[in-house]
Amino acid sequence: MLLSPHPFGSLVGLVVLTILLAAPVLSEEMAASDSLTRYEGQVIDSIRIENRNIYDTKNPKYSGFLFKSVNRLHLKTKAAVVRRELLFKTGDNVDTDLIRESARNLRRRLALFDAWIEIEKTESGKLLVRVVTIDQWSLATGLTIKKVGKETDYKFYIEEKNLFGNNQVMAFDYVSERREDDDSFSSNRDVDYFNGRFSDTRFLGSSQALSLSYSGNPSNKVTAIGVGMPYYDFTQNWRYELLLSDQRGRRDFYQDETLVAEADYAADGFSVGISRRFGPYMRKLRFNLTYQYIYAQSLGQRELPHIHRTVVFPDDSSYHAVGLSMRASKFDFVELRKIDGVGYTEDFITGTTGLIGLQRANDPDFNSYRYDKLTVELARQWYTRGHLISVQLSDSHWFKGGSNIRDLVNIEFGFYNNGLDFLTFALNGRYLSNWYPDGREDLNIGGTTGVRGYDTFYRSGNRRAVLNFESRFFPNVEILSAVLGGVIFLDAGRVWRQDEEIDLNDFLISGGVGLRIHLARLGRDRVIRVDFGYSESNTWQILIGTNQYFRAALSSLTLTNL
């Protein structure tokens, strides 16, 4: 049935099965957190930080030599690092909202496998708040292989996500890209390069963040430095950020799966942003003011002879852009398991958020302007009776006077059901339209753009629709703390041009099975993905990558955006 002659029928059948098997569920984490409310308003007499190591070696499952050696080699997160994320202190009255937010911040911001906060009365009647964290192995090194179509990427990497227990990230990569065919441009053949980055969300223990990054990728060579003060909690009103970047690279132009042209470019950028928000704890009105300077220059353009369509190369540009936006949010939170990961608490925001923004780009002398940009976003996410459902719509429209310059529309839908302990149903749909007056085709389908089993640039156009369905299985098989899982998947999608008619028979269909190796003790989101996909183009194909093929979290509903 998986690869029946009528793939859409199989897809509909699996969706119906999802609904039939969906079961009402009350999250255990939600029930546990509700027990905190019994202490609301009482005075906190003491706080105990229990920053535990990766493995509990008292547990027979982790009592072996290997697990004990890992604990000895690992530098545990410092108690002071944990304590600085808490939004309460000794002598405060218990505020359930702040305690729950502190737990979310620990899980989101620190290199931890899991974290939670408990409250109890001691024998002397004192109120004790116990902050429990479980570390993850923070040093990752090895070789990863990513194969999509005719391109195979090898990456040797070393990454430390908790440098000396201070929650700092330092990473280096060596990447080797190998192609099985000749794209007719020497610059598009085999390449090797280095990447590096460093980040600290609390530089030198302060409320300032620092990030440094470098990528030697010939198609996108980037050097960047960023500083700022992010939103650390929902009681904070002000935020700012500053970013400097230098880019050198190459842009490739495809017509369906054929590379027809390329252009080298250089770009310098500077941006600064400041935000101010108002409102009660879970209802926010946020204003953002941004300034951006971009200088982009073309360094060379190359076309293949005998191409059948005009290639539109980007023009040199230099401009200043000033933007103002307003975001209104009404939200709550839910703690779940086995949505994108396994074995740890996953935090999701529920509620509604909307944004409207206007940006104007001026010429360097500010005597005239390039364009105006109007952006509208609306997102809604809710969790009910075991179902996590999300919808996001966004439209960015560029115009000058009465002329339309560009229109970018994105619509995304997600449905997840974890009503069964051993199985999660995941459905994700996306529509993207990227319109230019000259009819350029910047969207592709295949590879990692939505439909497994097709080469990265199998088709090109300026409209794309993709639907992915996965049954994610959790059989509770664990080997050396790596949790094994599996998926059955169906993908459907199409990319087309503005003047083309939509025909369901033209949708690309693929399906197959996959293996998931969850390395949660090596990183909350770290997943090794091996898919065996069948498509009409390549019959069976092996696709190797990291992390879930698609994820539940929406960009408009994140803890740092509200």
pLDDT in tens, the chain (562 residues): 333 334 444 444 544 444 444 444 334 444 445 578 888 989 999 999 999 999 999 999 888 899 999 999 999 999 999 999 999 999 999 999 999 999 999 999 999 999 999 999 988 889 999 999 999 999 888 887 776 666 788 889 899 999 999 999 999 999 998 876 655 665 566 789 999 999 999 998 889 999 999 999 888 889 999 999 999 998 899 999 999 999 888 877 776 666 777 778 888 999 999 999 999 988 999 999 999 998 887 777 777 666 656 676 666 678 889 999 999 999 999 999 899 888 888 999 999 999 999 999 998 877 888 899 999 999 999 998 889 999 999 999 999 988 999 999 999 999 999 888 899 999 999 999 999 888 788 888 877 778 888 877 788 888 999 999 999 999 989 888 889 999 999 999 999 988 788 777 788 999 999 999 998 787 777 888 999 988 887 788 888 888 888 988 776 677 667 7
Give the separation between CA 322 and CA 320, rounded to whole angstroms.
7
CA distance 556 to 562: 8
Q: What are phi and psi of 206, to 5 degrees?
A: -90, -175
End-to-end CA distance of the chain: 44
Burial of residue 518 (number of CB atoms within 10 Å: 0-12, 13-18, 19+): buried
Domains contained in the chain, CATH given: 40-135 (3.10.20.310), 137-315 (no CATH)
What the block records as the tokens of 282 is 């879970």
Q: Which residues contact 61 (CB under 8 A, 6 or more apart)?
A: none
Given a contact cutoff of 8 angstroms between Cβ atoms, the answer to whether 191 and 152 are in contact is no
Quick check: 147 and 154 in contact, CB under 8 A? Answer: no
Find the DSSP H helices in 160-301.
Answer: none
Helix/strand/coil percentages in the chain, nearest 5: 15, 55, 30
| 559, β-bridge pairs | none
Cα separation, 281 vs 561, in Å, equals: 14
Q: How far apart are CA 276 and CA 559, in angstroms?
A: 16
Contact in structure between 264 and 307 (CB atoms under 8 Å): no
* CB of 504 closer than 8 Å to CB of 8: yes
Burial 363-381 (b: 16+ CB within 10 A, else e): eeeeeeebbebebebebbb
